[in-house]
Amino acid sequence: MNRTIKFSIYLLIGVALLLVLFQLVRLEKNRKLNSINLTTLEVEKDSIASKSMMIKISDSDVYFLDGSLVKFEDLENRVLMKRNNDSIKTIVIKAEKSVQVKNIVEVMDIANRNKFKVIFSVKPD
């Protein structure tokens, strides 16, 4: 009798540990599915496409197009005018750390609608 009770307890402990293990594996798998891996490339400053325009977004939601202050409402028209004048096909987006993601996505949406390539400029460590 004692032997079957010990066997049952060990069996229950083993099953419980297996359940915990499966939950951990499932959690790790879901974490990988819900993340985006962006690789950064080591590039020289001069290697950015020569035919590109820079859109800088400051933390106070102020937009600059190649150093000139632009209202967001006018940004798409100014970008299209610059593309037509200089045949630019690439937009470099440089955003400060505290910029809201929705502001960056709005600029990406402008680039996507108008078939621009996008480069994210990052500050080196």
Domain CATH code at residue 85: 3.30.420.270
Domain residues for the domain of 95 are 45-120
pTM of the model: 0.59
Query: Rounded to a whole number, what is the largest CA-CA distance in the chain?
Result: 91
- Give Cβ neighbours of residue 98 (< 8 Å, ≥ 6 apart): 59
Tell me the pLDDT tens digit for each residue of 1-31: 556 666 678 888 888 998 998 888 887 776 6
- Which of 3-12, 33-42, 72-81, 83-92 comes out lowest in average pLDDT? 33-42
Closest CA relative to residue 80, chosen from 71, 67, 89, 72: 89
Q: Are residues 6 and 59 in the same domain?
A: no
- Tell me what pLDDT residue 65 has: 92
Q: Beta strand pairing status for 52-57 and 63-65? A: antiparallel
- Tell me what pLDDT residue 125 has: 42
Residue 125 in any domain: the answer is no
